[in-house]
Structure 1
Amino acid sequence: MSVQSFPPVVDERSRILILGSMPGTASLRIQQYYGNPRNHLWAILYGLFADRPPDAGYEDRIAFARSQGIALWDTIAQCEREGSLDSDIRDVVPNDIPGLLRQYPRVKTIVCNGAKSHAELLKHFGHTAEIAERKVLKLPSTSPIPTPKYRGLEERLEAWRIVKEAAET
C-alpha cells in the first residue's frame, strides 16, 4: 500500500528538526504526527522540556514543540508499506530535507527518531552541505515496540536527554 508523509511542522523559531521515517498507521489514520497514543515522543518532549504529562490536544502539543524550537518531519515523503513497521518500507521517495534546511537555516541539529530515519537521511542526503554542516543525532525510536536496550519510556527518555542539551546550545 502506498503511504505519504505529512507536511513539516516548522517555523522561524525552529532549531531542532526531529525526523521520523514514515508515520505509522494510527498516525496516518488521524493525520497527526506521533498519533499512536502508545508512542513515546510526546511524553519524551514534555519530560525533557516541561517535566509534566503531554497536553491532551494535538494542536497544543504542536504549539508546545514549536515553543521549544522543535520542528517535526519525516525522511520519507512516500513509500510502499503494509502496516507500521519500518522493516516493511520499500520504494522510498525522500522528502526534500536539504530544501527545508535552506529555508530554515536556524535549524542546527537534526534528530533522527530511529535507525530507519537515520539510514534514509544519510543514504539520500548525507553528501549534502545542508546535512554536513549540522549536528545529526541518531536516537532510539520512540515507537512503543520494546527492544533489548530500550524497554519503555524511561530508557528512551534518558537517551533523548541529549536533545535538551542541543536546545540549550
Structure 2
Amino acid sequence: MSELTADVGFDPIAAPAGRVLILGTLPGGESLKRKEYYAFRSNVFWRVMETLVGAAADSPYELRRRRLCAAGIAVWDVCKSAKRPGSLDARIDRSSIVANDFAAFFASHPDIRIIGFNGRTAAHLYQTKVLPGLPSALGSLQRVILPSTSSANAMRFDDKILQWRSALAHWIAPTNPS
C-alpha cells in the first residue's frame, strides 16, 4: 500500500476587520480539486451564507468571498494539513495534523469576537490542537459549536439556519445583496 500524502488546506477568507471566524476541519476532496471552500454540492455552507448574508450559493466564488468579508465573516480551517483517506472528518489521522497559525491570524485580525465551529470535530480539534498554544487572552474568545453543514449531518436545513442565525446574527454586518 502506498503512503497517504497529506491534504493541504487554503488561506483564510478574511478581511482585517472581520468579527466572526467560521472554522471547519480541512477541505474535502472536491474543495481541494476546485480550490474553493465548501465546494461539495451537498454541503449546505453556501446556502446557509446565502440566507444569512446574501452570498448566493450559485454566484461566482469570488463574489461569495467578498460578500462574507463585507459581512465581517472569516472562514478558515483548524488544520493546515493532515492525512485523510477520502473527505470525512472522522477519517483524519489525528497524529498527522498540522494546525494553522492562529496566533498570527488573530494578530492580523484583532476584531474577531466569536469563533463558530462548523461541526463538533472542528471544535474538538481546535480545543486539542490549537487552544493550548494560544495566549490566554485569545483563549477567552467566545466560541460556539454550530451544526455541521456537511451532508453527513442529517439535521433539517431550516433547523441548521435557525441555530447559525441565533449564534451569529449579533456579529454579522448587514449587507445589501447586489
- TM > 0.5 fold call: yes
Cα deviation, 1:139-163, whole Å, max 9, x if unaligned, reads 111102233xx1x321211111111
Aligned-residue offset at 1:43 = 0.8
Counterpart selection for 2:52 from 22, 42, 48: 48
Number of residue pairs matched by the alignment: 164
Q: Kindly provide the amino acid, as one letter, of the partner of residue 144 in structure 1.
A: S
Structure 2 residue aligned with 1:118: 123
Cα deviation, 1:40-74, whole Å, max 9, x if unaligned, reads 11111121223x84342111110111110111110
Task: Provide the TM-score with structure 1 as the length reference.
Answer: 0.90
**CA distance, structure 2, for counterparts of residue 34 and residue 163 of structure 1:** 19
**CA distance, structure 1, for counterparts of residue 109 and residue 30 of structure 2:** 29
What does residue range 64-143 of structure 1 map to in structure 2 within 5 Å? 64-90=67-93, 91-127=96-132, 128=134, 129-143=136-150
What runs of 5+ residues in structure 2 fail to find an aligned partner? 174-178
**CA distance, structure 1, for counterparts of residue 114 and residue 7 of structure 2:** 27
**CA distance, structure 2, for counterparts of residue 137 and residue 97 of structure 1:** 17
Q: Say whether the 8 Å CA contact 1:86–1:116 is kept in structure 2.
A: yes
Q: Say whether the 8 Å CA contact 2:49–2:56 is kept in structure 1.
A: no
Give the alignment's Cα RMSD to 1 decimal: 1.6
Max Rg structure: 2
Aligned-residue sequence identity (percent) comes to 27
